Structure formats: C-alpha cells, structure tokens
Amino acid sequence: MIYLDFEKNIKELDVKIEELSSLKETPTRKNKLEKLIEKRDEELAKIYSNLSSWDRVQVARHAKRPHTIDYINGMIDGFIELAGDRAFANDDAIIGGIGYLGDTPVMVIGQEKGSDTESRIKHNFGMPKPEGYRKAIRLMKLADKFSLPVIFFVDTAGAFPGADAEARGQAEAIARSIQECLDIEVPSVCVVIGEGGSGGAIAIAVANTVFMLENSVYSVISPEGCASILWRSQEHKEEATKALKMTADDLLELGIIDNIIKEPVGGAHRNKEETISNVKEVLKDEIKKLSKLSKKQVREKRILKFENMTRK
C-alpha cells in the first residue's frame, strides 16, 4: 500500500494489524485485531470525510487507483480494442473499443496512465498525442454509424506537450475531438476517474452526462502549473488547488458536472472492485435513461447543456 502524506496514522495502524495477523491465532489476539481494524476504519472515515482540496488531488493521482483498463476489464464484456487513427499511428495513451455493458453494446474511449514503470512508458503516462484524439474521433464516428452509446473515461494530467505533438496539430486534434463529442447523435456518458487536466481531458469529456468520482479532480490547469504562473513558485500549489475549485463538490455546485459517484471509504484505490461496480451501475442506469431520447434530442440536449455553461 502506498500511503499519502495525511495517512500517517493509518500506516501505523496497518503495520500493527499486519504484525498481529502474523501471530498464532488466540482469543486475545483475535480481539485485539478486531479492535485495531475497527479503529483503523474509523480513522479512515474521519480523515476522508474532511479532505482538503489538495488532499483530493493526491488521492486522484494515487498510483493504485483503478485506471481505464481496470474499468474495461471489470465491467465491459467481450471488449475488442480498436487501434490507430488511420493517418499516422496508434496512441496507447487513449484506449478505445467495443463491448457490452450488461446487455447493451457500447463504445468505450478512455485515457490510460499505466500501473507500473513499463506500462506508464507504453501509455505515455496517460498524455495523448494528436493521433490519440484522432483515434477517439474515428471511434466516435463509428459509434454514431452503428448507434452505439459512448462511454468516456477521463484520467490525464493533460495532452502531451512535446514539440512532435505540436508539430502534428495537437490543438486542432483536441478541437475536432470536442466538436465530434458535440456532433454525435448517440448517448454519451463521461466519468472523470482520476485527473481531468486541461484540454487533454475536455477533448473526450463533452458528453450528455458528466460524472466525477468523489476524489477525482477536473480543471483547466494543474495546481503546480497554476502556482508557477500566478505565484512564480510551485510551493503555492495548495492555494492554487483551492482557488481553482477543481474538486467534484466544487464542480457540482458550479454546474460543470451532473453528479458525483461515491468512492469506498479510504478512496477508490482501497477497494477497486466496489468502485468499478458502483460506476457500472451508474453507467447502466444513465445509458438506459438517455436511450429513451431520439437522436435529435440526444444531440440538442448535449449542445444546450454546454452552451448554458457559457451563460452563467
């Protein structure tokens, strides 16, 4: 387990629990173990009910949070990955393909950060290049052609800022991806599962319904980037986080997202299976509701939703 800065007490309790668990079982040991576990769970609930904005950023970035691949494996049956943008290359920072959510065929598109050194390098730490967004555009068009609802999973620090990506039209690819999100006539649902950073996130986050996991974040810029610009120092990242209003609670209040999906006590990384199950049920219900609308209504409601944000 990787412990965050504010989880020092939890780490100490877990160490004691592990030590007791390794001893021979006796009534006394069992009683002490139960009390320690109860105390640990109470402490977790207390800490996670009072997280600061910066604490939530740390949870959103936790290396063990479930990623797009975990959600696909945990909720999409018969998934077939579709690769390439049919122009330049395949970008592993964005994963997409078709499968079944329950009995409903769907298109899934999401950013993947990777879970260890090798996979993080392969997926470019979840930072897509233009070919990634062009792949997303291709898959959205395919979903529209075959009337497949689209599920987006957002988890990126931002689009890749390298010179090669800029040379191949990063901004244009993001803009066209946003336009395609608006234009498709099939239901679309987005879930911010970790970080939602800048245009790299919004490129696949313009959906009929946008959810955020309880401890995810979503903003035009990272706290460190904001602090570097406004205060000329990343030391002010906590102030920047608060000012950016990037937590799920902030964004629900501002009307940027539609609802929040609760996480298990202690964050999604402590119980991936429960988190994925919660997200699956929410997605099934939302797609069922959106599927009752006509194609014209689906598109018009989505466009109106985002137009209204500009008038607030």
* pLDDT reading at 26 higher than 90: no
In this predicted structure, the answer to whether residue 208 has a pLDDT above a threshold of 70 is yes
Q: If DSSP states are collapsed to H, E and C, what string results for the chain?
A: CCCCHHHHHHHHHHHHHHHHHCCCCCHHHHHHHHHHHHHHHHHHHHHHCCCCHHHHHHHHCCCCCCCHHHHHHHHCEEEEECCCCCCCCCCCCEEEEEEEECCEEEEEEEECCCCCHHHHHHCHHHCCCHHHHHHHHHHHHHHHHCCCCEEEEEEECCCCCCHHHHHCCHHHHHHHHHHHHHHCCCCEEEEEEEEEEHHHHHCCCCCCEEEEECCCEEECCCHHHHHHHHCCCHHHHHHHHHHHCCEHHHHHHHCCCCEEECCCCCCHHHCHHHHHHHHHHHHHHHHHHHCCCCHHHHHHHHHHHHHHHCCC
Model confidence band, residue 17 (pLDDT cutoffs 50, 70, 90): confident
pTM value is 0.93
pLDDT at 1: 78
pLDDT at 23: 79
- Tens-digit pLDDT profile for residues 109-133: 999 999 999 999 999 999 999 999 9
- Under the banding of pLDDT at 50, 70 and 90, the label for residue 18 is confident
Cα 121–chain centre separation? 19
The yes-or-no verdict on residue 312 having pLDDT over 80 is: no
Q: Could you tell me if residue 67 is left (phi over 0), alpha (psi between -120 and 50 degrees) or otherwise beta?
A: beta
Res 136: pLDDT = 97
pLDDT in tens, 54-91: 999 999 999 999 999 999 999 999 999 999 999 999 99
Give the pLDDT score at 146.
97
The letter for the amino acid at 194 is G
Interstrand relation of 94-101 and 104-111 (parallel, antiparallel or unpaired): antiparallel
Q: Report the pLDDT value the prediction gives residue 31, as an integer from 0 to 100.
A: 85
| Residue 291's pLDDT band (cuts 50, 70, 90) | very high
pLDDT value, residue 154: 97
pLDDT at 33: 87
∠ CA 240-242-248, rounded to 5°: 125
